[in-house]
Amino acid sequence: MGRQVLGVVVGILVGGVVIALVEALGHMIFPTAAIEDISQFANVMSRLPLGAKAFVILAWGTGIFVGGLTSLKISGGQRQGPPWPAWAVAAVLFGGAVWTMFQFPHPTWMIVASIMVTLLGAWGAGRLMQTRS
């Protein structure tokens, strides 16, 4: 059980770093004006190009997948039962996405896509570890 908890904690950290890195890459490709006040973000969000918004979804999905893989690798993968460490990582990282969505409005398609990439990322991590066991 200790390895599984450690796997979840490390998976959350790794997933968070991956999300930050992919989002930073998106900001380099689709630069935006500096935002001084968080209340300005709603206005900026409505004017962001589709590619910038898609990079956010890509970041969330990639972070959840890599974080889930990390958690399963550390915890021993599928050999010890269902891939709950990957789902725990997905739940925490998705919680961060939900928090962000409550801070400023996101288009409906981004909300739906965030749910989809969360489910696919955790499932994909578990599936990949299952085929490697």
Burial of 69 (0-12, 13-18, 19+ CB in 10 A): buried
Local confidence pLDDT in tens for the 133 residues of the chain? 788 899 999 999 999 999 999 999 999 999 877 667 767 776 777 788 999 999 999 999 999 999 999 999 998 865 556 789 999 999 999 999 999 888 888 899 999 999 999 999 999 999 898 876 5
**Separate counts of helices (H) and strands (E) for the chain:** 5, 0
**CA–CA gap between residue 61 and residue 80 (Å, rounded):** 25
Q: Has this prediction a pTM greater than 0.85?
A: yes
Domain parsing of the chain, residue ranges:
2-132
**CA–CA gap between residue 107 and residue 47 (Å, rounded):** 11
Residues 6+ away with beta carbon under 8 Å from 36 = none
